[in-house]
Copies of this chain bind each other. A is one copy, B any other.
Amino acid sequence: MEKPYVVGIDIGGQTAKIGLVDARGSVLTQTAIRSDDTSDPNEFIHNLSEAVKKLVNKEYSMSDVRGIGIGAPNANFYKGTIENAPNLKWAGHGVILNFTDMMSAEVGLPVRITNDANAAAMGEMAYGVARGMKNFIMITLGTGVGSGIIVNGELLYGHDGFAGELGHVTMVRNNGRQCGCGKTGCLEAYASATGVARTAREQLETTDKPSLLRQIPAETISSKDVFDAASQGDELALDIFKFTGHMLGAALADFVAFSSPEAIVLFGGLTRSGDLIMNPVVEALNDNVMPQWKGKIKVLFSTLKESDAAILGASALAWDLN
């Protein structure tokens, strides 16, 4: 009989979340460990492996687990590595870790790894709103803008394993905002949560529209503040969502010209703003795509519970393992 479970792990800068997942996408049991309490990769991998065994062996058995899927920043699916990940204390600039090999040796199970946005796309295809789709694009709207591109039912990894950096296409070619990646004008500098906050500060400074946001010290304004103000009908806040959505929708139109997906799935904090972000996104998408695609590309919000999504996405990597 095929082994009935997989383990999904979502590694972030502060914590690593671990879950045991069944074929229907239920997280049966989960736990978390700190990922920032050591700068020794061997120690972190040991801690993580022990936590996996402890979690599984409490009510289940490691012999029922098919394998482990991991989502992590700067992870390379082809090589099984985590490379130069500034947000991971034990894998910073200059460090290349053969993560899957190291962890597999500790736990005695096959391990696969991919970056977080790719894992989210896998999760959406295995358990979420993209179930049954063979061609779609996942856009994660968090602190940054990530992407996972599914082509013919498979993740697009490209020549080097790092394909799908759609947060870093250039949207503003002159005087664009500085982006964390070193470029200027990237989509991420506008359509992320931090981008929304930057737009708010810009608008507050360059217009004199009255706004609830003026009651908040400019430097502390968050995308959540903008959402709260917009929910109360604040005009400036509504403008900010329109600007953000239009920027994202225009970018999506170019992505459609590339891979002609059935749908684009949006995931992450900004999607909590619902129609405030969805309406301008769809409007700009349809204003900017070629005629044959107008009104034909579905834009959907992820249906995965945000707390489970990262674990589920990572776990989806492990179903192909034996």
Chain A residues engaging chain B, CB cutoff 8 angstroms: 134-135, 149, 151-152, 154, 156-166, 168-171, 173, 181-183, 250, 253-255, 257-262, 288, 290-292
Contacts and interface: CB of A to CB of B under 8 A. Distances in A.
A95 to B, nearest CB: 15
A162 B182 CA distance: 33
Contacts of A162: 260, 292
B260 A258 contact: no
Nearest to A258: B258
Contact of A170 (B135, B161, B288): B288
A159 B135 CA distance: 6
A121 to B, nearest CB: 14
A181 B291 CA distance: 8
A170 B260 contact: no
Nearest to A261: B159
Tell me what chain A mostly uses at the interface: helix, strand, loop, or mixed: loop
A250 B186 CA distance: 12
A157 B260 contact: yes
8 contacts: A135-B158, A159-B261, A164-B258, A165-B260, A170-B253, A170-B288, A181-B290, A255-B258
Contacts of A181: 290-291
Contact of A159 (B182, B262, B288): B262
Contacts of A168: 257, 290
Contact of A260 (B163, B173, B182): B163
A156 B156 CA distance: 10
Top 4 A-B pairs ranked by shortest CB distance?
A158-B260, A163-B260, A159-B262, A135-B159
**Among A152, A154, A166, A257, which residue has the most Cβ atoms of chain B within 10 A?**
A257
Contacts of A156: 151, 258-259
A254 B288 contact: no
A260 B76 CA distance: 13
A270 to B, nearest CB: 20
A160 B260 contact: yes
Given A151-B151, A288-B170, A291-B182, A158 B259 contact: yes
Contacts of A260: 157-165
Contact of A250 (B163, B173, B250, B255): B173
A120 B186 CA distance: 31
B288 A158 contact: no
A257 B263 CA distance: 19
A141 B85 CA distance: 38
Nearest to A263: B159
A181 B171 CA distance: 21
Contact of A183 (B158, B262, B290): B290
